[in-house]
Amino acid sequence: MTATGTPTALGAPPLAAPLITPHDDPSRPISLLDPSDAVRLELLPRDFVWGVATAAYQIEGAHDRGGRGPSIWDTFSHTPGRSLHGDTADVACEHYDRWEADLDLMAELGYPAHRFSFGWSRLQPGGRGPLNPVAVAFYRTLIVGMHARGITPWVTLYHWDLPQELEDAGGWPARETAVAFAEYAALVVAEFRDLVTDWITMNEPWCSSFLGYARGAHAPGRTDIGAAVAAGHHLNLAHGLALQRIRSLDASLQVGITNLIQEFVPASESEADRAAADRTDAACNGFFLDPVFTSRYSSAVHDVFDEHGLASVIQEGDLELIGAPTDFAGVNHYQRILVSADPDGGYLQAVERAAAPADTSFGWSVLPESLSNVLKRVARECTSLPIYVTESGASYADYVTPDGEVHDPERVAYFGGYLDAVAQAIEEGVDVRGYFAWSFMDNFEWAEGYSKRFGLVWVDFATQQRIPKLSGRWYGSLIRAHAALPGNGSLAEG
């Protein structure tokens, strides 16, 4: 621990190597401090990208400083009853002020890449006009700091923090918001392309559209299925318009989109459940995969959403823009979901539940083969492009023990199982190039406030103390073990 009370990353005494049993193979225990027991590292490519992921609104804090404007999440979280206990991200992890120590910790733990997002309402407070110079200076300094520590930046342009002024003007259901996003993307990429090569346009547009505009569970908290469908198409269009602008600026940049892809399976063998699972998959996965990779919405997507206005919001040329070639496919995956037919189950006439075992604090399933299945599906049905797992992680009820440590063997088992599922997909021919663990540190978990912890690093939100968890040190060991494999010697030295 430093004189300021901040824990050093690897200063804790070595732990004994307890054994745990991964969910996918009860016969094979994992040594928590021997990553080679958990993941078939030899199957991963030599230049496999290892990283961690965060998002601006969830970690930065400083909600009213540096010229930042309000986003829909500021409004939503400050509205009584919207977030757990009325939690907001006004302070969050104070990364805006503590970024240097956070990057030091990231480097000390041995994480070579960081996927993070730019705050749209920080860089462009009203969603239009020139970029905020204070925000530009902050992000440039942050990225220079990453490079100085050997950390490769991967930037997400939109991770849910729509400027409130744009929501007031119609939000994502309005086509003009997609145009505004493309203008924002062009300004940002022009400013930062000397520092950043790898760009992601959108993070999980399904969440922005359907959680935000249909279910009301996320900002802006609306419950209008027609608005959600329009928002979903315009988020897809925003990706296409932004991609066009980025290509015109610099064709050498690597650009992709990240979609949330869950595995939806019927709860039974009944014809009704199978049909419900197909509808749910089309609505949640196909709506966003199809246009990006095939330049069309499938008949299954139209069957679900045309009655809610999908056909009417598609204009000539939209699908060609949305389906323009990208450089990689980003996959966020968390769980397998069982789907049952239910006539009272809303527009999909279906209900969902997590497949067992569902032992995270979110009640999400932990089945590593579901990630392998999703990766194989994307490669089989969507694209031959390189795939990056841009988010994967699990929340558990972590706590600090009297010895000052955070022991999270469940998360180690999770990452061991899911990373070996990546190796399995690669062995079966899928071109997976990297994995970003969600998340680098505990943070503001949207409508769940501070109640769900996904981090490799513990954050005490009252004091802002950081403590690397067992999983955080294990993940760094895994990365070093891969770098030390025969033929990867230069990686270990670097």
Task: State which H helix or E strand residue 457 sits in.
Answer: strand 457-460
Active-site entry in 60, 352, 391, 410? 391
Distance from C-alpha of 404 to C-alpha of 424, rounded to nearest angstrom: 36
- Closest listed residue to residue 428, CA positions, set 71, 40, 16: 40
Token reading at 147: 């490079």
> Cis omega (within 30 of 0) on the bond before 112?
no
Contact 456, 439 (CB under 8 A): yes
How far is C-alpha 57 from the chain's CA centre? Answer: 13
Report in angstroms the alpha-carbon separations of 416 from 31, 221, 317, 386, 488: 10, 36, 44, 22, 21
Quickly tell me which residue has 């329009």 as its tokens: 230
Q: Residue 247: CB partners within 8 Å, gap ≥ 6?
A: 255, 324
Distance from C-alpha of 51 to C-alpha of 479, rounded to nearest angstrom: 9
- Residues recorded for the chain: 494
- Closest listed residue to residue 310, CA positions, set 382, 227, 240, 242: 227
Quickly tell me which residue has 């063997």 as its tokens: 409
Specify whether 391 is catalytic: yes
Q: At what angle do helices 133-148 and 95-109 cross, to 10 degrees?
A: 20
How far is C-alpha 107 from the chain's CA centre? Answer: 21
- Closest listed residue to residue 473, CA positions, set 380, 408, 379, 394: 408
Active-site entry in 204, 263, 410, 445? 204
Question: Up-side HSE of residue 410: CA atoms within 13 Å toward CB?
Answer: 19
Distance from C-alpha of 357 to C-alpha of 373, rounded to nearest angstrom: 17
Distance from C-alpha of 295 to C-alpha of 83, rounded to nearest angstrom: 37
Detail the DSSP E strand segments found in 324-367: 328-332, 336-341, 350-354
Question: Up-side HSE of residue 241: CA atoms within 13 Å toward CB?
Answer: 18
- Tally Cβ neighbours within 10 Å of residue 26: 8
Distance from C-alpha of 122 to C-alpha of 485, rounded to nearest angstrom: 42
- Closest listed residue to residue 183, CA positions, set 265, 233, 248, 115: 248
Contact 457, 469 (CB under 8 A): yes
As annotated, the active-site residues are: 204, 391
